Amino acid sequence: MSQIAIDYTYKCVLLDIEGTTTPISFVHDKLFPFVTNNLENFLNKNWKNNELQEQIQLLREQAIKDVSAGEFPDAKAIPEEIDNNEEEVKNAVIQNITWQMKLNRKIAALKSFQGYMWRGGYESGELKGIVYQDVIEALKRWREIGIKIYIYSSGSIAAQKLLFGYSDNGNLLEYFSGHFDTTIGSKLEKQSYEDIAKEVKFEPTEILFLSDNVKEIVAAKSAKFKVAIVDRPKNAPLSDKDRNDFIVFTDFLQVLAHPEFIASQG
């Protein structure tokens, strides 16, 4: 039996990842520990690799900014590698990454390094991205009817592609028309969403943004996006005000059926 044709009030969907398409526990219980538990061995094994050294240089440059700013008392410089100070540099890198991850910083240098480490884990099969089944059903439906789908996450674009490219349901990258990370701007800023609308060439009112983060939802709505909160298990609890102010879904199939986003059949 063929599906009844439905016209939606949006032409484009913008999706968060953590707590939205993917369990929040996957990031905190799988991805983050993969970095911290394997960091020392990873550095020892790949120390002469040019890509690793490029990643360390990004961390080094960020560390200089952090120390100079004086905002973080625990911030320490990462020394340049000279003479026989390899162990000193490694220890400084380990301290830097561990410190930043404890703060759950959304800094580009950290996100880039994490993505670099995760790539090896995904390619070896040690890591597999987890995507909710209802998300996959919605992706299929949206693609069938020509709705464009994009990702906007604080994780780097490279890390996003790894999660969806090596998912527990196979390679899902074919469903996405593009990816955005915080290089386009903070997810808490109105301007970021306005810039994304320009990039994807849709009016803000034609874009539906789904996220578990209320502050992100507020920012997107201020840019005139259509918005809804996704409330998954173990996500941060929503207040009564949040539930009154915004539409809340517990899965993506509810999004497809909600009258707020279905155009009048006149």
Please check if 29 is assigned to a binding site.
Answer: no
Please check if 212 is assigned to a binding site.
Answer: yes
User: What residue ranges do the domains of the chain occupy?
Assistant: 12-22+129-261, 29-124
d(CA 205, CA 28): 33
**Lowest mean pLDDT, pick from 2-6, 147-151, 177-181, 194-198:** 2-6
d(CA 210, CA 220): 10
Please check if 111 is assigned to a binding site.
Answer: no
CATH superfamily label, 12-22+129-261: HAD superfamily/HAD-like (3.40.50.1000)
C-alpha distances in angstroms, 69 versus 6, 61, 62, 94, 132?
53, 13, 11, 21, 41
pLDDT at 266 over 60: no
Where do runs of H (alpha helix) occur along the chain? 24-26, 32-46, 50-69, 86-102, 108-124, 133-144, 157-165, 190-200, 214-222, 240-245, 252-257
Please check if 66 is assigned to a binding site.
Answer: no
Where do runs of H (alpha helix) occur along 125-179? 133-144, 157-165
Please check if 144 is assigned to a binding site.
Answer: no
Please check if 153 is assigned to a binding site.
Answer: yes
Q: Does the predicted TM-score (pTM) go above 0.75?
A: yes
Domains 12-22+129-261 and 29-124 share a fold: no
pLDDT digits (tens, 9 = 90+) for 59-109: 999 999 999 998 998 999 999 988 889 999 999 999 999 999 999 998 889
Quick one: pLDDT band at residue 2, thresholds 50, 70, 90? Answer: very low
Which architecture characterizes domain 29-124 according to CATH? Orthogonal Bundle (1.10)
